[in-house]
Structure formats: structure tokens, C-alpha cells
Structure 1
Amino acid sequence: MKKREEELVVARNRKARHDYHLEDTWEAGLVLMGTEVKALRAGRASLVDGFADLEDGEVWLHQVHIPQYAQGTWTNHTVRRKRKLLLHRTEISRIERRLAEPGLTLVPLSLYFSGGRAKVEIALARGKKTWDKRHALAERQATREVEQAFSRRLKGHRD
């Protein structure tokens, strides 16, 4: 698709997929300052500690690290400021209803440019327990071993 080819991923939160069960995802626009956009275009950002929260009917992104732009002057931005997310009213009300359930949170999954605009993919997530994480790792390793054994068989090697 042409739309996917235009996307330029700046940062991914791989730890979120490991630490949470992801239920629903949304794409949201970001309200940014000029130096933040330039720093993102340079490919520098971190979503590791980030989370989203609802305040007064608006969704805000907290603790996302966008470093200062090197050529920025006194107009440079604060590194970990809270940033407003742009979503439709129906999406915000749906998120608000779901966040009322215990144990759910909003986490950013990826930060990217789509059609020249900065977007963030956020997900409604429920935290995993330690045994869930171990079970997922064991399951992934077992499927990897099965695939390796299958490819060895196809190549004609013995076990």
C-alpha cells in the first residue's frame, strides 16, 4: 500500500509488548513545537517510560523523551513535557469508558511520521504477571525450535 510506504518510524516501544496484554489500539496525532518536530525528524526519541492519561476530556502523553534539537536556541523545548494527543471525541469517550475498568492503562507503542504529520500509536493495555512473561518467552522459543527443525528437514539434514 502507498500509505504504509510513506510512514517513517521514529521510535518503537518494544518493552510494552513484553510487559502488557494489548487490547485496543488507536492512531493519534501529536501537538508538537517546531524544535520537537526537527528532533523527531533526526530520528531521536524514546517511548520507554511513556504513558497516556485523560485530563478534562483530553488525552495527554506523559514522560516521552524527545531530546532537545542541537541547532535550537532559546526556543528549544522541554525534554519530557506532556504533549496533547489529537483524537476524535467518540474515540476519547470510548477510551474513557474502558479506562474506568481496573488494571487498564494507555501506553504508546510507536511514534512515526505519516503523510508529513507526527503520529503516535497508543494501546489500551493490561499488565502481565511475571509467569505470563515467562510463558510467552517459552512459547516463542518452542515455536522457533519447531521452525528450525522443520527447515532442517526440508534441507535434507538429519536431526
Structure 2
Amino acid sequence: MPKGQGKAIAQNRKANHDFFIEETYEAGIVLQGTEIKSIRAGRVNLKDSFARVDRGEAFLHNLHISPYEQGNRYNHDPVRTRKLLLHRKEIDKLIGETQQQGYSLIPLKIYIKNGVAKVLIGLGRGKKKYDKREDLKRKQAKRDMDRALKDNNR
């Protein structure tokens, strides 16, 4: 975890399986009403979410934040599009990089930093099926080696 990052509330575990993450960016999220309370309670899902740059602004799509139980009429739409807060230079760089074929912006994790909700966005290039199989083989081989070393040390 990079320096200064808070405890991860939600992680997108599938992202590293489906993408080669080349760069990461920390972004703030524009939230409404009771959304921060739901995030602090851990009621957030990154599974099918993605980020996109439209008209010079970054947006997070399909991020599911469950409605807050005590929120009554002040609750929000769970999967609404939320604006991301990034520096202009970062947005300009992302515009250029996402124009390339095969690159996407994927939210990797949500965490609270200094009382503010942040999302870690990764610039990822999609993996092909053979890349995924190769990664699984590598992980299994590492697991087997670690297990063998552990057994030898007993």
C-alpha cells in the first residue's frame, strides 16, 4: 500500500486478473448525502465499475453504494454516475492514454484518507485468455514452491 493510504474499504480483486495495471492514480469522489456513511460502513461494491473521461472530466460508472439504512428520503441512487476529482494534468494524461486501443480505467480500491473517501484508479490494458492462464500457472508454481520450502523448514 502506498504511503499515506488509509485502510481499504472495498477492493476490485478481479481487476488484476483481467488487466495489466500499468499506472495508478488517487482520486476523490463527489458524493451526495448519506453515501459517505454507507462507504464507511463498507457497503460498497466495485465489481462491475469503470471510469471514463468525458468532456475533460473523469466519471466513475456502475459503482454500487448501498442506500444508508437510516437515510430515509435523503438516500441516493445506488449506481449513479459519480464525478472523480483529479488534477487537470492527470486528466489530460488519461485522455491520451485511454484513446489507445485496449486501455481502460479501472477502480482498484476505495479507502478513507484523512476523513475523505478516495478511489485508486488503475490504467489497465486488457489481458487475453492466454495471459490469464499464464498468470494462474505462475501463481500455482509459486504456491507449490512456498509450500515445499515450508515443509523443508519443519
Is TM more than 0.5 here? yes
Aligned counterpart, 2:124: 125
Matches of 1:93 and 1:134 in 2, distance apart?
34
Q: Which runs of 5+ in 2 are unaligned?
A: none
Q: What is the DSSP-based 3-state SS (H/G/I as helix, E as strand, rest coil) of the residue aligned with 1:110?
A: strand
Aligned counterpart, 1:96: 95
Matches of 1:107 and 1:71 in 2, distance apart?
31
Matches of 2:37 and 2:7 in 1, distance apart?
14
Aligned counterpart, 2:148: 149
Matches of 2:96 and 2:58 in 1, distance apart?
13
Instruction: Give aligned pairs, total.
Output: 153
Q: When the two structures are superposed, what TM-score results if normalisation uses the length of structure 2?
A: 0.95
Residue 65 in structure 1 maps to residue 79 in structure 2: no
Deviation at 1:130, TM superposition (A): 1.2
Q: What is the DSSP-based 3-state SS (H/G/I as helix, E as strand, rest coil) of the residue aligned with 2:73?
A: coil
Aligned counterpart, 2:17: 18
Deviations 1:38-70, CA, capped at 9 Å, x for gaps: 111111100000000011100000000001011
Provide runs of 4+ in structure 1 moved above 3 Å: 1-4
Percent identity of the aligned residues?
A: 46
Change over 3 Å in CA distance of 1:2–1:53 after alignment to 2 = closer
Q: When the two structures are superposed, what TM-score results if normalisation uses the length of structure 1?
A: 0.92
Deviation at 1:73, TM superposition (A): 1.6
Matches of 1:73 and 1:48 in 2, distance apart?
26
Matches of 2:150 and 2:112 in 1, distance apart?
37
Matches of 1:38 and 1:152 in 2, distance apart?
46
Question: Of the two, which has the highest radius of gyration?
Answer: 1
Q: What is the DSSP-based 3-state SS (H/G/I as helix, E as strand, rest coil) of the residue aligned with 2:71?
A: coil
Deviation at 1:34, TM superposition (A): 2.1
Deviations 1:54-110, CA, capped at 9 Å, x for gaps: 111000000000010111121110010000000000000111110111110100000
Change over 3 Å in CA distance of 1:48–1:2 after alignment to 2 = closer
